[in-house]
Amino acid sequence: MKTGIHPTYYPEATVTCACGNTWKTGSTVESIHTDVCSNCHPFYTGEQRIVDTEGQVERFYKKLQARQEYLEEHDSRDTGSALLELPIVELELGSRPEKALAQAGIATVGQALDRLQQGDDSLLSIEGFGQKSLIDLKKRLRQRGVSFPEEQPAPAP
């Protein structure tokens, strides 16, 4: 070995854990301090414990709390009137159904919902607005929070 280039080796270096456990080992550092050891690590002890390093768990719970509050506020907001004034074009149904609805004088979601209350046939009777367009319209409205009563199947003859 070359002399003078190697660090000092301490055969009796002391390792101290945050839980209070200490033991001796060989190291180039005389005293070692650690946060977790085999006596307190959840993997070895079998206990369910969250080891928090630098407040990561608290930050996560804080973000989770803020998300919950945002969702509650968002759900409680009254978006009904804004939805009724939304132009049909915003639903992105396609050019043909949008054009058919515009020719029938239906320009907003509120007008389309009025027609839907009269029954599906009131919209299906519009030239150029078929069954697929009706399904797409209902799907887009459901995505925006509109609920429809369960449709009853036609009775068999």
- d(CA 16, CA 34) in angstroms, rounded, equals 6
pTM of the model: 0.46
* CB-based burial, 81-100: b 16+ in 10 Å, e otherwise: eebeebebeebebeeebbeb
Task: Report how far Cα 157 is from the mean position of its chain's Cα atoms.
Answer: 47
**Residue whose tokens read 């054009």:** 99
Residue 92 has pLDDT above 60, yes or no: yes
Q: How confident is the model at residue 91 (pLDDT cuts 50, 70, 90)?
A: confident
Q: What is the pLDDT of residue 79?
A: 53
Structural element, H or E, at residue 73 = helix 56-76
Residue 2 pLDDT greater than 50, yes or no: yes
CB neighbours of 72 closer than 8 A, spacing ≥ 6? none
